[in-house]
Structure 1
């Protein structure tokens, strides 16, 4: 087998082991949402219609960082993913597709990835992207992003020549391209000088290769970006975050609007062309001319235990909580209607043919308060107050879920307190093992087990040798049979160890005006690279 055919075969094999989930996408009201197994719909022809030059996009939570390697989702990702790009990006089926990479060779043993870079790609400062920038960016990403560090360990990205970078692994990694594609702790490429000058708390210059370049960030108010005139588009059709991007908006303002009612009312007045909507507001826009309603996968919800806390370093106390949970009530309190949630014991979504597993499902949604009380007695729980960490941002969903869990735990004898912060402060507090015990929140769609943040020692402090060993086994498996066996073993043990208790999966309604063309959503994250706003 020649080198090209061998590389292609291995990449196809590894890609087949990656989560294939078709998130609801939308390219305007004249274009149907993309779904698994379907080709991307043809773009609506609007070339004969004038377009607006500016667009305002409402962010539902504060932006804590614009450092892509440190970003953990939400508003951060909505901005970052339109400024920065990576070697790979997910399409609508969450398959990794080359973006800044031209192609990739994989060695026969699956341990060496050789990335051939697209040439002539310009950063927003005018510099051409070369291997030194890619290696510096990805080595920093690997050191800063917990999931990447956990997967790649001491492996490094090495310069081969100006347009080639190699990654040499100690074992095959079936999640390598998925790791490079994921939106959390995004593996963005930036100039080497930006990497070299980065402060410990993050980069100080926001320079990428994306269709929009950074202009201004006024904390807690707005972030302005503008069209990058020298953007070099990838050639394939737009699909998810992959493919062609031809920005037609000259200026884009991301405005911070944390209050759900304010965002919705601003949509009604025409200030925004796109908004998330809750159940109470749905009747005001449903069936209205010129407005399309879509339902998109949002996130899975989990209860994260602080394994360093005095209470939940004790496994029996974690078991008591898990035994008490009635997840239906928690999900209903979060999204207000059964139409927007689904029960699921797996850490992966049900349509994830490769990584979905029902192992350990007998420990899900137990709803047994009496047994939970017995476990508390066995643990010797002394009445110490447990602290819930939450935020009222994001429409209050995290907060509402937390209150339902709080009531369920007080019912079995826990003494509790809820500490509420703005979203950015909550993220900072979450990294401090000394200030919280339980965190209930949503997580961006995972594509492989290695992307489950709460399996890492730095997130909820899951420092467990067996969990780490099983996680490594799941990523080093190559054949479908080996992947299934390793994944079942991982999820079975995860329910025994209880880094988290899975609550369920949620969806969100969005309203989109007809004049907004070209918008694509990935679990709530916007690809604005092809957006156009028609003038009425």
Structure 2
């Protein structure tokens, strides 16, 4: 008979296996006006406003259209909204440790294969129904069918009901990434009422009912999404951190305005419509001298060049090696963010702050800047002027496009014939899933907390269908001790720099401006937690 170990809220944070994202020296906040800071998460800090001086409505600008409010399908800008409506069993703290939210605790069997989740009791959905195991099981079994990284981790395993407040997950093999998968912000493993899940169609759920601090009110396409305070919200009793911990709601209404034009967003900030806005280098000087504005620099996304391993050319590793050899990562990063202060070189597929999973294995193949080697590899591969399609979009602030045109220039310089396929982001996602539609895709990726969340190591994303890669991924997720994890992690990254499912370019930062009247705003990888936010009148 297997022994079970009860993991309390406090003891969970102690388990080294899941301490996947080590603290940086500066965690993304700066109380001085017009100062800068860097880090994965950030919180606005200023003097606390008096209770009778609090505004009840916050307007928050979004840089992109909202295609869905289904949390299991949500990517990019829609996550800004959904993370404030929905919650999961676990959520990341500011250091990307998974922390219980709707789960009170969990048990892990001695063989590492069976997770038993104990649910908090008395948690209500926005429709007044109490959350129970049937809702959790329906939600998570749907989530795992819609999310590639969840499918890779869970396989055919399903969540099952033990009793009204207990859910079990029995895996075929031990895996060390389950809690991180349940905490990830993209395609979030959110819990919805069973009946909402069962009524969902191919386009997603039609009712947006969660357990979060804000409830859905109205979505006016291409204009705004309106949320309101959920008066019956049941918070956990733990210190707030990242997307986890205590959530106390001081706002009555939040309006997410859809404002794709960056100049319009910034002008509205200057006019006082918004108290928070993303910054470009061009408008940075206009806020640096304002005494009531803080400027923060936030570590947010990394840039990777992904190959279509089913394309006629890049199914051959020699062609992938040629591209890796020619890339000048400084040039690509500078062309993307326009300032050396807003990027850093990094040979690892994980961030240096992530002390458990960071590795420098294979770094000799990083940032080679060697066009002669690239030309030689093209010759060895038999290149004969075939056209290479680079898939990109001008949406999302132009970052994808800017990075891609620099890559295009570098490829053309060694004689590779290229063409750009420029689409809207929704079309790009559809084309990226088609092995006949593209050759190279350069994109920005939300930081992962474990290597198993690296999409391009998955057969369904760029078609990295390689037996050795799958074997190394399996060994990595089964590792237990720090020594085993390091050895398996180094082996995986070393092979990835040889197999080249993707080429790491570097890490990027973004900048934001926050007025001093807005306090308590926390972001994680750029995504906002609007609980605990106060806004002075």
Structure 1 length normalisation: TM-score? 0.94
Who is 2:54 aligned against?
51
Deviation at 1:6, TM superposition (A): 7.4
How many Å separate the matches in 2 of 1:69 and 1:448? 19
What secondary structure sits across from 1:319 in the alignment? helix
Who is 1:82 aligned against?
84
What secondary structure sits across from 1:526 in the alignment? strand
Deviation at 1:19, TM superposition (A): 2.6
Once the two structures are superposed, the pairs formed by residues 7-26 of structure 1 within 5 Å of their partners are 12-13=14-15, 15-22=17-24, 24-26=27-29
Change (3 A) 1:237 1:39: farther
Are residues 1:459 and 2:461 paired? yes
What secondary structure sits across from 2:53 in the alignment? coil
- Is this contact kept in 2: 1:104–1:113, CA < 8 A? yes
Who is 2:67 aligned against?
64
- Is this contact kept in 2: 1:359–1:491, CA < 8 A? yes
What secondary structure sits across from 1:454 in the alignment? helix
Deviation at 1:311, TM superposition (A): 2.2
Which consecutive unaligned segments of at least 5 residues does structure 1 have?
A: none
What secondary structure sits across from 1:413 in the alignment? coil
Who is 2:324 aligned against?
322
Deviation at 1:357, TM superposition (A): 0.5
- Is this contact kept in 1: 2:135–2:193, CA < 8 A? yes
Q: Deviations over 1:445-495 (max 9, x none)?
A: 111001111111111121212111111111110000000010011001111
Once the two structures are superposed, the pairs formed by residues 7-406 of structure 1 within 5 Å of their partners are 12-13=14-15, 15-22=17-24, 24-26=27-29, 45-72=48-75, 74-406=76-408
How many Å separate the matches in 2 of 1:61 and 1:166? 38
Change (3 A) 1:221 1:484: same
Q: Deviations over 1:14-67 (max 9, x none)?
A: 54552335584459879x999999999999543434222221111112223222
Change (3 A) 1:61 1:5: closer
How many Å separate the matches in 1 of 2:278 and 2:55? 22
Change (3 A) 1:287 1:405: same
Q: Deviations over 1:348-397 (max 9, x none)?
A: 00111110001111111111111111211222223222222222222211
Deviation at 1:281, TM superposition (A): 1.3
Change (3 A) 1:272 1:10: closer
- Is this contact kept in 2: 1:174–1:477, CA < 8 A? yes
Change (3 A) 1:231 1:10: closer
Deviation at 1:423, TM superposition (A): 2.5
- Is this contact kept in 1: 2:19–2:97, CA < 8 A? no
Deviation at 1:275, TM superposition (A): 0.9
Who is 1:518 aligned against?
520
How many Å separate the matches in 1 of 2:41 and 2:381? 52
Change (3 A) 1:190 1:162: same
Deviation at 1:249, TM superposition (A): 1.8
CA RMSD of aligned residues (A): 2.6
How many Å separate the matches in 1 of 2:7 and 2:227? 42
How many Å separate the matches in 2 of 1:42 and 1:164? 39
Q: Deviations over 1:307-337 (max 9, x none)?
A: 1222222221111111110000000001111
What secondary structure sits across from 1:202 in the alignment? coil
How many Å separate the matches in 1 of 2:280 and 2:312? 38
How many Å separate the matches in 2 of 1:179 and 1:20? 18
How many Å separate the matches in 2 of 1:9 and 1:269? 47
- Is this contact kept in 1: 2:41–2:94, CA < 8 A? no
- Is this contact kept in 2: 1:304–1:500, CA < 8 A? yes
Structure 2 length normalisation: TM-score? 0.94
How many Å separate the matches in 2 of 1:342 and 1:33? 16
- Is this contact kept in 2: 1:86–1:181, CA < 8 A? yes
How many Å separate the matches in 2 of 1:153 and 1:28? 46
How many Å separate the matches in 2 of 1:231 and 1:33? 34
**Pairing partner for 1:533 from 509, 532, 535:** 535
**How many aligned residue pairs are there?**
534
